Amino acid sequence: MSERSPSRTPAPATPSRASAFADEQRETVVAVFDDSARSGSWVPPEHLLAIAGFGNIKLDFRDADLPEGPTEVRPFAVFGNVELIVPRHLDVELNGISVFGKIQHRSAHQAGRKLIDRVLGRPAPSAASDAEEEDEDRWLVVHGWAVFGNVKVTVVDP
């Protein structure tokens, strides 16, 4: 009598973590000993990685067509600079870590007011003609790292 080894059937396929990431929009902008920029009419992905090593990156969101919800930007500035230019009506959540560098949010306006109101459950202002209401469903979440470099968010009038 011959013994048969039990047949091995492959396990059912399950979606992997990699395939889950494939469904998300991702882009990487790199500037090493160089400059790189995104400006004008462009469509940022849901997740944007910006790496500046001894270089500069400028991301201008004034005319960008942002998807609904948060757009995550992860700037890494190592002996370089990453600058994000945003219109006044676009909220920005900025956090990060700097070592011998700077992470900065510059604005002459009350940036982030709508975001704070949304988090605290406050009612939205009733001025329907106010241009600030255009992007209440869109905002940037910036997680920055600066090592001997700078990550700067500059709020400007559109």
Share the mean pLDDT of the chain.
82
What backbone phi and psi angles, to 5 degrees, belong to 117?
-60, -40
With b meaning 16 or more CB within 10 Å and e meaning fewer, what string describes 49-61?
Answer: ebbbbebbbbbbb
Q: What is the pLDDT at residue 65?
A: 95
Region 125-152: mean pLDDT is 77
Provide the 3-class DSSP secondary structure of residue 157.
Answer: coil
With b meaning 16 or more CB within 10 Å and e meaning fewer, what string describes 70-101?
Answer: bbbbbbbbbebbbbbbbbbbbbbebebebeeb
Q: Tokens for 26?
A: 């991702």
Q: Tokens for 49?
A: 């990685």
Q: What is the pLDDT at residue 108?
A: 59
Q: What is the pLDDT at residue 112?
A: 54
The domains of the chain are located at 24-125+133-156
pTM as predicted:
0.72
Q: What is the pLDDT at residue 88?
A: 92
Residue 112's identity, in one-letter code, is G
> How do residues 51-88 score in pLDDT, each as one tens digit?
999 999 999 999 999 999 999 999 999 999 999 999 99
> How do residues 93-112 score in pLDDT, each as one tens digit?
999 999 999 999 987 555 45
Q: What is the pLDDT at residue 131?
A: 47
Provide the 3-class DSSP secondary structure of residue 51.
Answer: strand
